[in-house]
Amino acid sequence: MQIHVQRRPTLDTGIKTVRNVLRYTIGRGCLRDLHEILSRARNQPDDYAVIFIDEYFQAETGVLHEIQVQPTDLIIFVSTDEEPTTEYVDTLVHNLRSQRNRNPCVIVGMGGGITMDVAKAVSNLLTNPGKAEDYQGWDLVKKPGIYKVAVPTVSGTGAEATRTCVLTNKKKKLKLGMNSDFTVYDQIVMDPDLTATVPRNQYFYSGMDAYIHCIESAAGSYRNAIGDAYSRETINLCRQIFLGGDMMTPENREKMMVASYLGGCAIATSYVGLVHPFSAGLSVVLSLHHCVANCIALNALEEFYPKEVGEFRLMAKRQGVDIPAKVCHGLDERQMEDLFAATIIHEKPLTNALGDGYRKVLSSEKVSSIFRRM
């Protein structure tokens, strides 16, 4: 059965004053500016930086050399096998507090969405009491976190620009971020040379996150005029990158960094739609990573996003990338119920996509049938 999403009146996002990243640098080789940024943050003799860095760079000593880490700094390699959990963030904060008796002067998140989000969450928790799960929601963080700098090494999630850091709460079976102005990075360093070694599939899935954020936002009811403009340009850049030649030329990698940033800005003023709630279900229940889960979810949502799914499939074909299939085959009833619960909980995005009556459209049978197509 085809469901046609009716044109509904524009809704107020409720986001009144939008905070963007304070400063950014972009261009090949600009990683070397990070040293200068860190030096400026260190004012006292015992000031130190905490650098969260994707474990991939453990073997890439050249990059660490470039940053010129000081002996007092702490380098924490972040595993990207699993998406960050509230427990993981609490452990990191606990360890930091027991190792040092004062907070760092600056925090760096260098990596993909996972590493950048971990750095954001730790920054917030070092200045706000309690646990990570206390801040999962909207505007719950009360005090600014530690000054933080993002260095994306994979583009697409927009974590460098958004006001959230997505965490999975395994106990509550909930995937939700700390949505707050204080979660926004203070500074970003965007060096396209850092994405040259990303595996092609991962580069594509991550890039599609930017595209998906913006097609969801552009098709939604909660609108913001500036957010719309960011979305249009992000989609435009994604078309140039993925429908042209090789998506990974230096020029396209720089464009992808811009698309990721603008896509993040777009989503900071609006909401996602149907893809992200379904993708969250796949992450919570099947532990699939966000970006690949998005691609799998979008691929099964053709009835809601017919034109976009067509374009997405063409992009995958042009770039020679496969979208995993049959990930929900053979799941039992209990798992299907968990998938439903982890999807339907995302009230704002689902209202954005389908209106107040979203539960009428997304019955548990309907949601199951969509998952079974994945």
Enumerate binding residues for Zn ion (CB under 5 A). 209
Nearer residue to Zn ion within complex by CB, 96 or 291: 291
> Which residue has the closest beta carbon to Zn ion?
209
Nearer residue to Zn ion within complex by CB, 73 or 209: 209
For the record, the structure tokens of 52 come out as 């969260």
Nearer residue to Zn ion within complex by CB, 272 or 354: 272
Report the side by side order of strands in the sheet with 174-179: 137-138, 174-179, 166-169
- The CA distance from 367 to 344, in Å, is 9
Shortest CB 276 distance to Zn ion, Å: 6
Nearer residue to Zn ion within complex by CB, 209 or 254: 209
Nearer residue to Zn ion within complex by CB, 195 or 283: 283
Nearer residue to Zn ion within complex by CB, 63 or 323: 323
Shortest CB 258 distance to Zn ion, Å: 17
Nearer residue to Zn ion within complex by CB, 104 or 220: 220
Shortest CB 290 distance to Zn ion, Å: 6
> How far apart, in Å, are the Cα atoms of 271 and each of 15, 219, 320?
10, 10, 30
Nearer residue to Zn ion within complex by CB, 83 or 209: 209
Nearer residue to Zn ion within complex by CB, 90 or 209: 209
Shortest CB 103 distance to Zn ion, Å: 29
Shortest CB 203 distance to Zn ion, Å: 15
Q: What are phi and psi of 355, to 5 degrees?
A: 90, 180
Shortest CB 163 distance to Zn ion, Å: 13
How many residues comprise the chain? 374
Shortest CB 348 distance to Zn ion, Å: 14
Q: What is the 3-state secondary structure (H, E, C) of the chain?
A: CCCCCCCCCCEECCCCCCCCCCEEEECCCHHHHHHHHHHHHCCCCCCCEEEEEEHHHHCCHHHHHHHCCCCCCEEEEECCCCCCEHHHHHHHHHHHHHHCCCCCCEEEEEECHHHHHHHHHHHHHHHCCCCHHHHCEECCCCCCCCCEEEEECCCCCCCCCCCCCEEEECCCCEEEEEECHHHCCCEEEECHHHHCCCCHHHHHHHHHHHHHHHHHHHCCCEECHHHHHHHHHHHHHHHHHHHCCCCCCHHHHHHHHHHHHHHHHHHHCCCCCCHHHHHHHHHHHHCCCHHHHHHHHHHCCCCCCHHHHHHHHHHHHHCCCCCCCCCCCCCCHHHHHHHHHHHHCCHHHHHHHHCCCHHHHCCHHHHHHHHHCC
Shortest CB 220 distance to Zn ion, Å: 14
For the record, the structure tokens of 300 come out as 């099964």
Shortest CB 325 distance to Zn ion, Å: 21
